[in-house]
């Protein structure tokens, strides 16, 4: 019974995090400006999060190892254009991405999701939050 409760709470928190992260997908003007979701392939919850986001029109970037490399090779070009980013990653990876995001004028908000220390986050331009 304890395991079923934990799975239920995990599912509910993932659903809440998903809704929060993808709330403004429909508000973008061009396909290039669609939400870009980071999927950590090592975590099944992150894969499920990214799959649900892709069903609502988000673009997905999958990765496995180095958050810094992910930022410089895949996320920085989109972030510099003001594309909103979201993901469900470990706290350490979210921390690295948040530090790199500040150099680009993005802010990150975090919401803890489950006992495995996964963090749902969203990054967007600092001045964008006052417009939305």
Domains along the chain with CATH numbers? 2-24+31-131 (3.40.190)
Count of C-beta atoms within a 10 Å radius of residue 7: 11
Q: Name which residue leads in pLDDT, 117 or 98.
A: 98
Q: Which residue has the higher pLDDT, 47 or 126?
A: 47
- Which of 89, 84, 85 lies closest to 119, judged by CA? 89
Does residue 131 have a pLDDT over 50? no
Which residue bears the tokens 């470990």? 90
Closest CA relative to residue 100, chosen from 38, 16, 20, 56: 38
CA distance 86 to 34: 11
DSSP H/E element including 120: strand 118-125
DSSP class of residue 34 equals S
pTM, 2 dp: 0.69
Arithmetic mean of pLDDT, 55-83: 92
Q: Is the pLDDT of residue 21 over 80?
A: no
């Amino acid at each position: 019974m304890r395991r079923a409760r934990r799975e239920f709470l995990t599912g509910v928190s993932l659903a809440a995090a998903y809704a929060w992260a993808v709330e403004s997908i429909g508000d973008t003007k061009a396909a290039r400006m669609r939400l870009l979701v980071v999927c950590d392939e090592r975590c099944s919850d992150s894969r499920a999060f990214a799959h649900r986001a892709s069903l609502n029109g988000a673009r997905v970037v999958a990765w496995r190892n180095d958050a810094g490399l992910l930022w410089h090779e895949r996320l920085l070009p989109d972030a510099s254009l003001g594309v909103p980013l979201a993901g469900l990653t470990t706290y350490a990876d979210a921390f690295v991405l948040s530090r790199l995001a500040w150099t680009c004028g993005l802010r990150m908000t975090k919401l803890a999701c489950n006992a495995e220390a996964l963090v749902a986050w969203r990054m967007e331009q600092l001045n964008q939050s006052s417009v939305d």
